[in-house]
């Protein structure tokens, strides 16, 4: 920023990049200095982007020390990769919409920007035009009474089916929902938020429909969004159908119409801004903003002002990170409703990490340990991942966990109706790391908790996992009505058949049943149950979270685990939010927290975790996880992060090394005061 302006580089010389360059030329805060092109010899680049140095490739642009910020204008599938690489190179990023293919990808981009301390913004240029702020002020002022309905479209007709064009190309994530559907969705969320006195509002219901054409992309599509408070939005988009593209907002005392608000009633160069207010019995009121500035100059300056102020995201009404994530979550639901998954999102095509690189296999952030009975070392933290329903979303977290050194994966026959196992199997095969990984499988959940179910379900699990064995197997529940020996026989048979090649045992089994199972195995020459997966946490579970659940956090259990040196793979190891601000003696709104964890003994432990966390510069939840890791028996916490930020936050617990005295003090209180 030698001239006091942001020095911009454009990544990809498409038509929208030309429009951005026009806005940049008329901006107050920025100047164009470079263009990264895959074909730098293409005729006309110098004339189209005057003053820009034409660089050979995107990597060259990111390596250029004279570039402060990068505008990404390449097709949708490259947004996440190059935004992450740009952040890692220390460059600020303004990325064309959609910010990413999914909210999961966008979250990973934000994670990279947050770590790098760089700006990341989604280039919805309409949000920065003065017309948008004027529209919000009308809604907030009650100009049309109480808001009831929003109707919004962005649709156009291409000359015909053009399989080579990016809008029809499946491999380029074509179709209307991603290309232009975000405009009416983001506007509906903005207007609903204005009516509620918030920056934006999230719908509580999304219902979508679409026509998928020859290439499998949506050629025209519609969705209904229902918001808290009863506001309904009808949104539609198309690439093969002309629509009127008028934003209509209906209230109890009138309506507002905004023609072509995506371009503020103009084109990619100038949008004058025009809003029409229609009230019953009154003449149509026309509000003309008469803007003459370049349409794209507003977002250039909004991004520039954020960068110069040291902010990492747009100020409202620009699309901040939470706003962008909210819009993409709606688009994710819309796509899911119509069955639109691009081929590039499936395992066969997504062979690298989101950043475009092969998976690294030398991570050390998560250490590994030997556990008796396991043929290979396992990471000290096990990953659970029930919340993902596509390979493209789940692989982001799986990649990050593995690259950090994690290799222990927790699955269950009933998780996601089997999809968790399917996802892990796809990922292990795709990344080629089955032999470096340790798989936990679980089966025989109630009500199907019988010996003959074990083999049948395990066979199906192995098919989903695309492997011939698991490393650890747990019965997901126990059935005390069945003699324990029958369960031991069933699991021992699977071990002898080579389908369990490590430990087996029980999840949510009592001490008495484990003792009986071990005694039966010893007497009858069977493999002994060698592991548990019960709840274990610094906070003791007072009532089962779910029917049939068992905690091992009592004093008697701790003594038994230590005496047996029994490995316990602890679920809900961080108390399901008890060690966060969600809990507190004065916070009674969360039924589960109150019912399961609230006792004065647990609050005393929480108080001590808070005290120790302050001394260590950590959070109480880190102390709670470190407590589970520091037990005098093999104790392996199961963690279930949903985002890369949550994963990275969990790893901070690994910096804490608690002594036996620390553990006793956290558990028992002042009489074991920590020095």
- Residues catalogued as catalytic: 97
Q: What is the SS3 assignment for 169?
A: coil
Q: Which among 159, 391, 12, 339 has a CA at the least distance from the CA of 167?
A: 159
Contact (Cβ atoms closer than 8 angstroms) between residue 30 and residue 51? no
Encoded tokens for 245: 């593209």
Q: Are 186 and 323 in contact (CB under 8 A)?
A: yes
Alpha helices in 590-673 (DSSP H): 591-597, 600-616, 620-629, 644-651, 660-668
- Alpha helices (runs of H) in 164-282, residue ranges in sequence order: 176-179, 182-195
| 644: nearest Cα among 117, 116, 114, 80 | 114
Q: How far apart are CA 132 and CA 473, in angstroms?
A: 57
Angle between helices 79-88 and 103-116 (to 10 degrees): 10
- CB–CB of 195/139 below 8 Å? yes
DSSP-derived letter for residue 571 is B
Q: How far apart are the C-alpha atoms of 653 and 543, rounded to whole Å?
A: 27
Q: What is the DSSP letter of 238?
A: E
> Would you call the peptide bond into 98 cis, given omega within 30 degrees of 0 as the criterion?
yes
Structure tokens at 327: 């819009």
Question: Helices 103-116 and 321-338: crossing angle, nearest 10°?
Answer: 160
Three-state SS at 500? strand
Q: In whole angstroms, what is the distance from residue 573 CA to residue 410 CA? A: 14
The conformation of residue 535, written as its DSSP 8-state character, comes to: B
């Amino acid at each position: 920023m030698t001239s006091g302006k942001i020095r911009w580089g454009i990544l990809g010389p498409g038509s929208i990049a030309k429009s951005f360059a026009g806005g940049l030329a008329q901006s107050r805060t920025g100047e164009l200095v470079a263009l990264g092109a895959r074909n730098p010899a293409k005729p006309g680049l110098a004339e189209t982007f005057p003053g820009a140095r034409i660089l050979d490739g995107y990597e060259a642009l990111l390596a250029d020390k004279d570039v402060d910020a990068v505008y990404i204008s390449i097709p949708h599938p490259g947004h996440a990769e190059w935004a992450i690489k740009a952040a890692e190179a220390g460059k600020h990023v303004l990325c064309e919409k959609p910010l990413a293919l999914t909210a999961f990808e966008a979250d990973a981009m934000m994670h990279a920007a947050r770590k790098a301390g760089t700006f990341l913004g989604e280039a919805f240029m309409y949000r920065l035009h003065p017309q948008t702020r004027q529209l919000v002020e009308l809604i907030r002022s009650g100009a049309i009474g109480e808001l009831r309905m929003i109707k919004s479209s962005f649709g156009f007709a291409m000359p015909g089916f053009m399989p080579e064009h990016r809008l029809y190309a499946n491999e380029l994530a074509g179709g209307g929902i991603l290309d232009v559907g975000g405009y009416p969705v983001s506007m509906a969320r903005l207007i609903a938020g204005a009516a509620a006195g918030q920056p934006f509002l999230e719908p509580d219901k999304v219902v979508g429909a679409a026509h998928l054409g020859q290439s499998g992309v949506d050629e025209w599509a519609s969705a209904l969004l229902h918001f808290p408070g009863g506001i309904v939005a009808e949104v539609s988009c198309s690439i093969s159908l002309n629509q009127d593209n008028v934003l209509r907002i209906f209230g109890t005392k009138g309506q507002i119409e905004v023609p072509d608000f995506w371009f503020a009633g103009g084109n990619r160069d100038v949008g004058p801004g025009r809003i029409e207010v229609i009230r019953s019995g009154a003449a149509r009121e026309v509000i003309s903003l008469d803007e003459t500035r370049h349409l794209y100059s507003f977002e250039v300056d909004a991004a520039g002002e954020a960068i110069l102020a040291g902010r990492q995201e747009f100020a409202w009404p620009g699309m901040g990170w939470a706003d962008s994530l909210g819009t993409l979550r709606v688009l994710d639901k819309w796509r899911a409703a119509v069955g639109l998954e691009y081929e590039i999102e499936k395992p066969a095509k997504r062979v690298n990490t989101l950043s475009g690189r092969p998976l690294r296999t030398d991570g050390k952030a998560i250490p590994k340990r030997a556990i008796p009975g396991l043929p290979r070392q396992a990471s000290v933290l096990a990953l659970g991942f029930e919340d993902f329903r596509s390979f493209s979303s789940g692989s982001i977290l799986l990649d990050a966990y593995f690259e950090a050194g994690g290799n222990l994966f927790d699955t269950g026959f009933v998780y996601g109706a089997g999809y968790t196992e399917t996802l892990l199997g796809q990922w292990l095969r795709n990344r080629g790391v089955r032999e470096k990984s340790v798989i936990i499988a679980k089966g025989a959940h109630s009500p199907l908790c019988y010996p003959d179910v074990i083999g049948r379900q395990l066979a199906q699990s192995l098919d989903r996992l695309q492997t011939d064995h698991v490393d650890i197997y747990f019965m997901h529940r126990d059935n005390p009505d069945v003699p324990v020996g029958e369960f031991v026989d069933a699991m021992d048979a699977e071990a002898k058949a080579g389908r369990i090649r490590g430990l087996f045992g029980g999840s949510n089994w009592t001490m008495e049943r484990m003792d009986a199972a071990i005694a039966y195995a010893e007497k009858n020459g069977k493999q002994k149950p060698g592991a548990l997966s019960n709840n274990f946490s610094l906070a003791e579970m007072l009532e089962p979270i779910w029917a049939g659940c068992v905690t091992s956090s009592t004093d008697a259990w701790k003594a038994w685990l230590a005496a047996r040196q029994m490995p316990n793979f602890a679920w809900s190891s961080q108390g399901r939010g008890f060690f966060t601000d969600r809990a507190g003696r004065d916070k009674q709104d969360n039924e589960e927290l109150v019912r399961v964890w609230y006792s004065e003994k647990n609050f005393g432990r929480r108080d001590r975790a808070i005290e120790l966390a302050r001394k260590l510069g950590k959070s109480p939840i880190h102390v709670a996880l470190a407590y589970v890791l520091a037990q005098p028996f093999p104790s392996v916490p199961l963690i279930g992060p949903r985002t890369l930020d949550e994963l990275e936050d969990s790893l901070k617990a690994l910096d804490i090394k608690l002594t036996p005295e620390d553990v006793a003090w956290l558990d028992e209180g002042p009489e074991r005061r920590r020095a």
